[in-house]
Structure formats: structure tokens, C-alpha cells
Structure 1
Amino acid sequence: MRNQPIYANRHMRVVCIGAGASGLYMAYKLKHYFTDFTLNIYEKNPQISGTWFENRYPGCACDVPAHNYTYSFEPKWDWSANYASSREIYTYFNDFADKYGLREHIHCEHEVVGARWDEDNTELQQRCDFLINASGILNNWRWPAIPGLHSFKGELLHSAAWDDTVQLAGKRVGLIGNGSSGVQILPEIQPVAAHLTTFIREPTWVCPTRGMEYHKYTDEEKQRFRDEPGVLLNVRKKKEETLARFFSVFVTGSAAQTMAVDYMREQMKQKIGDAELAQKLIPNFSIGCRRLTPGPNYLESLTLPNVTVVHGEIKEITPDACITEDGRTWPLDVLICATGFDTTFQPRFPVIGRGGKSLAAEWASEPRSYMGLAAHGFPNYFMFLGPNCPIANGPIIFAIELQGEYFARFLNRWQKEGLASIDPRREAVDDFMAQKDAFMESSVWASGCQSWYKDRKTGKVTALWPGSTPHYMEALASPRYDDFEIKYHGNRFAYLGNGFSQTELNPDLDVTYYIREKDGGEPLFRSLQSTFNAKSLGDLLQAPPDLAI
């Protein structure tokens, strides 16, 4: 029996990997809603903010409207435009960390090289009760698999590892890729390059959602956002509603899909202004099969005099040129690879679970998770933005909040009920994967285009949640504890303690709240999400008024 009141906290040690949007939110959640914990966040970079520290290529911005690319409770009134630059977003997350005092938990230039589950809690260099992987999806960039790539003698750049010292002015520049990064880079470097050759393997949809065209905010607009109550909130809510309702476009054969295709095809034709080029660049696959990008000034730049669009595969790269499959040679001084990231969802370091299992080996053929949050056989291990998360279903920052709230429920229960380990059951993982696969058959994501949303080996959709943002909110609102194998430290009822309730510690608390004149619909049982802490029976009997919540 624990000589403490019911639900008394025990000290909890948490390690979080990554100090980007996810890691910072986890720090905020723990610091402001928990007591009796130790948190260490390990960040491989010299500064925080994750992808928004790493990505600094010309034109780098977020393709989600800026007022909706914030934590739901932490708006920013002074965004320069509705699509914010990477530097502005970097500043937002740094300001957030400073405002809420989160840096005390963060260790920069600390790269995690391995993690393993220890059933007996022995001989670990950094022991913790929970390991939370907040390293993100799009951070392990990769070079394209093109023969001769590293024989190139000019400047070789990757969009995710940009070298600010490289000068592009007056150079013959090659750009590989027309995904989100390539679409942003091209209009920024076109004015300074002597000539720009862009290599496009597949077409992609480039057009903002109706009503979300690029807009630079005026000083007057920003002042209204700051000073007039409700103005900024209404802007945020209207954009959020538009993003949420866009989900119906992702259903194959829906009226919304048909309307979106017609609208965006016409918009692309007008912006390209060249019928032959438009035929090559406008996709014949569904909108949303690949990530849609607003692409301000991208299409208009493709027909400028110093831009050449090369459609097709690059067969080989030589010390001074790219050779395409048609045998043509394209001399270059600088080659930029906007070719994306490793999106296999396998961790960048060994994660060893129960029985010595490696997560990389377990996921070698397919990443099989529990709702994108946890993995069978890896107790007390949670993932932000794991496989089949809502990375394209709606605003991703809010999804991070939902995931952090979900993890917090398990951490809270671990502290208060004497849990030892939490592990999703294999049958629960299998059932989730089957449900996910069944849903995806009706989605545009499973249709015939190449996309990082899909696993290259199986062709299954591995990156996206099988539903809308409201759907995701409801799915995560209440954990299904029966989907988990939960083990306890000794007696599972030891948390009942010494017979006292922590509510009795506070003399100012109404302990007879349940005595009332009518049934107002409120529950009879008070939830102890945050509770008072008593170290001893003496503390309990003295009932000091200043105990922390």
C-alpha cells in the first residue's frame, strides 16, 4: 500500500526527441498541466524549430495559411502575408518557447543515436519512463538516385540543406523537382539566374484553394487583427472551416473533386499561357493524390525567356551537365535538388523494443502503427506525426495538439495509477491497418499517381489519416484503453493509497459539490486530471493550503 492519498502522483521521467512544433508543444503541455516530472528534449540542430530552422532555401514558406499554422491557443497577428516565410515561422516557434519558458528542458546539438526498452530499468545512459519521438516526417532529406550525381563539379545543393554562400547570379542553374520546395524556389531564383532549367518528371496541381490566393497583409489589416476584438478570430475560423470542408475533395468521384478539377485546370491554363506546356504540366490524376501547392508566381515564371522546362527523366549527371532520357545535354553551373525526404517513417536511429525487436526491422515491409501514435512491442513509446497521421487532411499544428493531449492522458494515468508499461496490442494494430486500407480505397490518395503519401513497396497509403480533421478529433478524444496491454508495478490497486482523497488536502475546495437542488447534467465523479500532491500522511493531516496542482 502506498502511504499517499488516492491518485497521488509519482515522479515521471520523459525524454522527447526533437524541438520542433511537436516537441515544443509537448514541453508546453507538461510544464503547464503536470507536476512531478523531469523532461529532457534532445534536438540535433544548434537551434530549435525543427524544419523551420533547417529549411532556408529561397522562397521557403508554408503552404498552409499562416493564421492557421499556429497553435490553436496562440495566434499571431502580425504575419506579413497569408503564406508565411520560413523565417517568420522560425521566429514564431522561438517566441513561443521564450514566452512559456520551455528552453530549460531543451538540449540542442544532442542527437539521439539509439533507444531501447529495458524491462528491468538497468544500465541505460539516459533512463526515462516515456520516450516521445517528435522528430517529424520531413526532416531526413535525401539526394535523388541519379547516376553520376556526385560527379558534378559545380555547386550541388539540396533544398533542405541550403548553402546561403552559393551565388546564383549570372549562373546556369538546374532545378530538379516540382514538389512544394521546387515550386517555391523557382520564382525566387529566376530573376537572378542567367538561365534556369527545371527538370519535371511528373505533372502536379499548382493552384491555391479558391479564396486562399496569396495576399500580403497591409499595416491597417494587421492593426485590426491586433486591436479589434474578434477580427483575427473570425479570419482564423473562416479559413479553418474552408480547410476542413476541403476534405470532401479527397473522395474519389465526389462532386467536390469534379468541381475542384475543373476550377484548378482552368486556373493553371490561364497562368501558364502556353497550350503545349499546359498539356504537359496539368495532371490527369485527381486533385489531392499528390500534395497540392498554392505556388505563387510559379506557373507564370515557366514561360519567361530565361526558363526552360524539361519534361522527363534525367538519365545521367556529368561533371558539368544533366543528360536526359532523350539524349540531350543541359550544361549547368549549379544544380539544385528539390527531391524531398525519406518518408518510410522508420526512425533515424535504432529503436529497440520488447524482446530486442528493432522498429526498423518490424517496419521493413510496411510501417504498421496504432493510429499513427504507437507501435506494438515498443512500450511507453509514442510518436508525433507517425504513419497515417493527418498530414494533408487539415492544419497539421492542430493535429499535433490532439496527439499531445492524447499522450498526456496516458502520462497522467501512469503517474496516478501505478502503471509500468503501455503497449498497443497487435490485434488492435492489425484492425486499425485493415480499417485504414479499406477507407483508402475510396480516396484519391490511392489513385494512380506517384506520391510520398504511398509506400513504394506496397503501394499502400502510409502517410495519411483515413478521415477528416473533425473525424480525427473524435477518434482521439478518448483513448481506447482496451486496445493496450497495460502492466502495473505490483498491486494494480496500490494507487488507492492510505484511504484519503487529495481533494481533502485543500480547505478551500468544496468537497460537497455533489449536494445540489436539481440535476444539472454534471457528472457526480470529479475528474482528477490535475490533483494535489501529498508526500506523507503528515502532509495529508496538516492539509497545507499551498500544495501545487
Structure 2
Amino acid sequence: MADEFVHQFDNTLAGQDAAKRLEGPIHAERHMRIAVIGAGASGLLVAYKLQKDFNNFRLTIYEKNPSVSGTWYENKYPGCACDVPSHNYTWSFEPKLDWSSVYASSKEIFDYFDGFARKYNLHQYVRLQHQVVGAYWNNDKSEYDVSIKDSANDLTITDHCDILINACGVLNNWRWPEIPGLFNFKGTLLHTANWDENIHLEGKRVGLIGNGSSAIQVLPAIREKCSKVTTFIRSPTWVSPTTGLEQHVFSEEEKSDFANKPGNLREYRAKIETGLNGSFGIFLRNHKLQEETLAHMIGQMKQKLGDADLEAKLIPKFSVGCRRFTPGINYLESLTKPNVEVVIGEINSVTETGCLCDDGKEYPVDILICATGFDTYFKPRFPIISHKGENLQDKWATDPQSYLGVAAAGFPNYFTILGPTSPIGNGPVLYGVEMQVDWICKFIDIYQTTNIKMFFPKEEAVKDFVEYKDHFMKKTVWTDSCNSWYKNRDDGRIFALWPGSTLHYVECMKNVRLDDFEIIYAGNRFAWLGNGFSQTELDPTADWAYYIRESDDDSVPLSTAGQRKLLTKSGSKDAGSGEWSSALALLSGAR
């Protein structure tokens, strides 16, 4: 019988590993080879979590740039900052005590993530100037063959991994605008995501294309240096600081309090996080918070513009939140300055000396800055080939559909961070990333401690999820008539965002649902039971009677509700006020 059992294993490396399980204890941790694409914030977090909680693995992170930190290494344009308050643009467990201001510069944010990597020695896993150019599933070996371009040595090398994690992020593939004649321009042509720090703007006529987050930050930063700035705006957008979170430079006393007064920084961060988590109603049609925010934003924009003509052209008709709105510190005020010219409409073409617009006028400039963003369509920039020969580039070319933002149907042993339908505009973004990485690590743990050979989301699971997502999105303002990278360019369906709040996503990602996955084992699926011994019995330093307790039952609740209440300290806050009761009624759907 034993021989028959062993013969159930195939002859692949995975099968040989599974056969070895019979000789070891239950949940023996097999060696894993994990490859991560990108050493930005997400890739570094994967390295931290694996290093902290796992053993017996080999991790390699391939990063195309000469440094870690991803978008915060690449983006160096004047005024570049994050539109999330800096103390909350950190990992939940890794606060920074000395941010300079509420909205910190890209340089400070780069230093935070680079410092995080150095503190935990994560650079040991990173191969800089190594760009992944293809990943191909090898059916014979149940692994990915990964092609990587070593830019420093102009070589293409091949690596092999059991699990592939795409941590390229969303804002990493910048693009020029599709304007006829763009490269005929004889002046200096710049893109905000590929900034030349040697360029001098003093005394120049500068054209600025766009009014998204980058342009909103650039204009106030360069205006006083230039003789004239002509800003080309195609469509209006909502711009205003959030009340209570205006830009503020922290004093030395405030920094000292953050560092030395117990609980001071946590209280400050928790207050902001609570506000961010409490703002999801803004994105729901006919919600009281949407209506109140709309009125507030209109008032703020009118106050800052102070110009009836600009107000009529720049205040959107669509709902607040249909497009991502940004704090826009001093942006609206800059539009009214004497040396700023606002041109609203389309640029028909770029000439050798400037921009020819749909008003029939040509606007001459010496320097043309394209603040036109990134390719955010989620289609991979290199082929990822499945066990059936399918290319994810083709599958996600026009309608990218993921499993909960972290996996793709039919693509084995492959994860993505901030994939389609992730909580990137729903509330605090970095905690959403943490939940994705934690979920991926839970799945990796299952893989490492069993004899799973291949796993991937079922097509029907992704189909059901997309149907739910589309149903929910009808309730949101994201479906308004606005130009937004949240949407499918063909049919307007929302594909970038999670159908709910960030906290909703957190609770969804608490557990791995294996019934949504196709699981293929190397041989008998119960080989992980091993030789009949537990790991505990093989550890002489462990308590072999750990389950014997005092009289009180201090075990973790068995129910989802009980675990949630314990984790969130339910009952620790006063819910007696009328305002809190009304909020609860709105959230629960009570009438």
C-alpha cells in the first residue's frame, strides 16, 4: 500500500518534493523560490513580511531603476508630493516621527521607503537595474521561467521561480500625450515623471499640459520662476484642500511631541485615518456626505478662484469623487496670477514653437511640460504566459478582470499587488496594500506547507466577482460622465476600484477562500500529513501542552463577528450621540 501511495506522485520537481513530505512532520515547510517584480513600496513590503514570518525560501526582487522606492524615486518634478497626509502615508506598523509637513515632498517619501529597506536589510533581496521582460509557465517543472534584462551589463538572463508576484504598482508607466506634432517641438519637452533636474525655468515661457495631480502640484512650484505660464486644461476637476488637513509645516515642538509623548503620534494618525475611513459616503450617489462635500467644494473653489469666468469653466458639473480629487495647495490661487494664462479646451497640435488649440490660436512657449500621467490600464508591459499558453497582456488588453485585485483567472502561482479592482481611491491606500500582501502571504503559507503544485482563481469565481462589482458600482458617483482612469475606455465600466470602502476590503481579505481556486496537487492531496508527527513534538523548546489553560477561556473567538469585535476594540467608543447613531443607520442601511 505504501508503494502505491508513493507512486501517486508525478515525476516533476513538485512531485519529488511532495514525496519527501511522507518522511517529515505535518506542514513541513518546503523550499520556495519567489520572484517579485518591482522594488517600490509594495515589493519592499513583500520582502519585509516574508523575512519576518517565513523560513526556507529564496526571494529575488527585480527592479528596473538604479534605486528602490518605485514612483517615489522616479518622480522628482517641482512640487511633487503625496496627496495623502504624510503621517498616514506609512505602513501601519512603521510610523515616521519627523515628517516636515502634512503633505511631504517626494524626496521625503523616497527617504522613508529607502530607509525602511535599509533598516530591515531588504536590499539583500533586490537586483537593481534588472527589468523583467517576460514570464513563461513551464508545465514540465511547474515553475515560471522569467526573462530579465540586466541593463547595467546589457544582458538578458533567465531565472526560475515557484511563485511570481507583480508589484509594479499603478503609477509607474508614464506616457506622452497623444497630440499630433508633439515631437516636432523645437523647445524643451519635459514629462513630470521623467523630469530633467538640470532644466532652468527662470525667465522662460512655460506651457503646462494637464490639470491632474501632477499639474496641480507643478504650477504653484514653478510660477514665480517663469516669465509666463500657459496652462492647458482639457476638462474641469475638483480641487480643494480637505478641511482640517490643509498644508502645515510641523514645528520642532510638534515633532518633539510626536517623538517623546506616549500616544501623541498614534492619536494624531488615528484621527486622520478615522476621517479617511469615514469619507466613503462621498462616493455614493445621493448620500448626505456627497451632498455636503459637493457644497463645500463649490464654495472653496469659488473662494479661491474669485473669478466668475474661471468658476464657470473650472468647477465641474459631475459629482465630487468621479475623478480623483487632490488637495491642490495654492493651485487655484495661482490660476488667477498675472503671469498665468489659462487655456481651456483641446490642443489640436504642437508646432515647433508652441501649442495650436481648438480656439484657433497658437500659444508660443520655450518649455513644454506634459503633466499627463501614466498608462493605468493594468495590462502588463511584458508577456506573462499561463500553463495553457494564454498571454495576460491579451486577456487584460481591454477589460482587465482580477480576483479581488490580487490574482488573475487561469494564471498559475501568480499574484499582483494593486491589480484591477483594488482600493486605490476608496480610503487609506497603504493599509489596503498591507492587506493584499498579508493575504498573499497567507496563500504562500498554504502553498509552502502542503503539496500544492499549481493554483489559480477559477474563471467562474472571477466572473461572479465582476458581476457583483458592476452591480455595486451603479450606486457610485464613479460612473458619472467624467474622464477618469478608473474606467474602461470603451464602455465606461469601473475596473480600477474596489466595490466598497477600504475597511470593507480589509474584512473581505481576512481569509483565503480556497473554494474560489483551482488547486492542483503533486500526487495525493493529503501527503502534507507526513510521517504522523506534529511540528510541536519535534521542537524540544515548545510547550507540548499549550492548550491547557487557566479557568478563563482566553481563546480567539470562533465567529467572524467575534474576531472583528475583538480586533477593532468594539465597545471602546461612545455610540450614544445622535450624530454617531445617524452615521450607523446610514452605514447599516437602516431606514
Scaled to the shorter chain, the TM-score interval is over 0.9
- 1:108 equivalent in alignment to 2:128: yes
Contact 1:64/1:83 (<8 A) preserved? yes
- 1:117 equivalent in alignment to 2:157: no
Contact 2:144/2:162 (<8 A) preserved? no
User: Which residue identity is paired with 2:220?
Assistant: P
Q: Deviations over 1:362-397 (max 9, x none)?
A: 122300111111011111100000001011111211
TM norm structure 1: 0.94
Q: Aligned with 2:161: secondary structure?
A: coil
Distance 1:78 1:521 in 2: 39
Contact 2:144/2:164 (<8 A) preserved? no
Distance 2:267 2:552 in 1: 35
- Residue 64 of structure 2 corresponds to 44
- 1:374 equivalent in alignment to 2:394: no
- Residue 281 of structure 2 corresponds to 248
- Residue 9 of structure 1 corresponds to 29
- Residue 280 of structure 1 corresponds to 313
User: How far off is 1:488 after superposition?
Assistant: 1.0
- 1:269 equivalent in alignment to 2:302: yes
Contact 2:398/2:488 (<8 A) preserved? no
Distance 1:298 1:249 in 2: 23
- Residue 243 of structure 2 corresponds to 210
User: How far off is 1:32 after superposition?
Assistant: 0.6
Equivalent residues in 2 for 1:92-491 (5 A)? 92-121=112-141, 124=145, 125-491=158-524
Contact 1:514/1:524 (<8 A) preserved? no
Distance 1:67 1:517 in 2: 41
Q: Deviations over 1:174-213 (max 9, x none)?
A: 0000000000000011000110000001111111222111
Distance 1:68 1:383 in 2: 23
User: How far off is 1:504 after superposition?
Assistant: 1.1
Distance 2:456 2:523 in 1: 17
User: How far off is 1:519 after superposition?
Assistant: 6.1
User: How far off is 1:517 after superposition?
Assistant: 5.3
**Are residues 90 and 335 of structure 1, via their aligned partners in 2, closer, same or farther at CA, if it must alter by over 3 Å?**
same
User: Which residue identity is paired with 2:229?
Assistant: L
Q: Aligned with 2:274: secondary structure?
A: helix
Q: Deviations over 1:18-41 (max 9, x none)?
A: 000000000000001000000000
Q: Deviations over 1:467-513 (max 9, x none)?
A: 00110011100111100011111111111111111111222322222
Distance 2:144 2:91 in 1: 38
Distance 1:428 1:458 in 2: 22
Distance 1:162 1:462 in 2: 30
Contact 2:144/2:163 (<8 A) preserved? no
User: How far off is 1:116 after superposition?
Assistant: 1.3
Distance 1:458 1:77 in 2: 45
Unaligned runs of 5+ in 1: 526-549
Q: Deviations over 1:74-97 (max 9, x none)?
A: 000100001010000000001100
Q: Aligned with 2:165: secondary structure?
A: strand
- 1:69 equivalent in alignment to 2:105: no
Distance 1:62 1:272 in 2: 23
User: Which residue identity is paired with 1:392?
Assistant: G
**Are residues 502 and 96 of structure 1, via their aligned partners in 2, closer, same or farther at CA, if it must alter by over 3 Å?**
same
Work out the number of aligned pairs and report it: 525
Q: Deviations over 1:242-262 (max 9, x none)?
A: 000111110011111110010
**Are residues 123 and 223 of structure 1, via their aligned partners in 2, closer, same or farther at CA, if it must alter by over 3 Å?**
closer
User: How far off is 1:523 after superposition?
Assistant: 6.2
Distance 2:468 2:46 in 1: 29
* Identical counterparts, % of pairs: 56
User: Which residue identity is paired with 1:387?
Assistant: P
User: Which residue identity is paired with 2:104?
Assistant: A
Contact 1:10/1:415 (<8 A) preserved? yes
User: Which residue identity is paired with 2:137?
Assistant: W
Distance 2:447 2:97 in 1: 38
Contact 1:137/1:345 (<8 A) preserved? yes
Distance 1:521 1:46 in 2: 50
Q: Deviations over 1:326-366 (max 9, x none)?
A: 10110010000001111110011111112110001112230
Distance 1:523 1:263 in 2: 44
Distance 2:226 2:250 in 1: 29
User: How far off is 1:119 after superposition?
Assistant: 1.7
Distance 2:415 2:525 in 1: 23
- Residue 153 of structure 2 corresponds to none
Contact 1:388/1:462 (<8 A) preserved? yes
Q: Deviations over 1:269-320 (max 9, x none)?
A: 1111111111111111111100110011101111111000001111111000
Contact 1:156/1:335 (<8 A) preserved? yes
User: Which residue identity is paired with 2:420?
Assistant: P
Contact 1:114/1:350 (<8 A) preserved? yes
Contact 2:135/2:144 (<8 A) preserved? no
Q: Aligned with 1:191: secondary structure?
A: helix
User: How far off is 1:123 after superposition?
Assistant: 9.1
Contact 1:131/1:380 (<8 A) preserved? yes
- 1:505 equivalent in alignment to 2:505: no
From 59, 81, 89, the counterpart of 2:79: 59
**Are residues 328 and 222 of structure 1, via their aligned partners in 2, closer, same or farther at CA, if it must alter by over 3 Å?**
same
Contact 2:144/2:161 (<8 A) preserved? no
Unaligned runs of 5+ in 2: 1-18, 146-157, 559-591
User: Which residue identity is paired with 1:47?
Assistant: S
- Residue 33 of structure 1 corresponds to 53
User: Which residue identity is paired with 1:334?
Assistant: I
Q: Deviations over 1:400-443 (max 9, x none)?
A: 11001000011111111111111100000000100010100110
TM norm structure 2: 0.87
User: How far off is 1:524 after superposition?
Assistant: 11
**Are residues 386 and 487 of structure 1, via their aligned partners in 2, closer, same or farther at CA, if it must alter by over 3 Å?**
same
Q: Deviations over 1:214-264 (max 9, x none)?
A: 111111100100000100000000000000011111001111111001011
Contact 1:175/1:336 (<8 A) preserved? yes
Q: Aligned with 1:417: secondary structure?
A: coil
**Are residues 498 and 204 of structure 1, via their aligned partners in 2, closer, same or farther at CA, if it must alter by over 3 Å?**
same
Distance 1:260 1:300 in 2: 20
| C-alpha RMSD of matched pairs (Å) | 1.3
Distance 1:132 1:289 in 2: 30
Distance 1:459 1:266 in 2: 29
User: Which residue identity is paired with 1:493?
Assistant: F
**Are residues 66 and 123 of structure 1, via their aligned partners in 2, closer, same or farther at CA, if it must alter by over 3 Å?**
closer
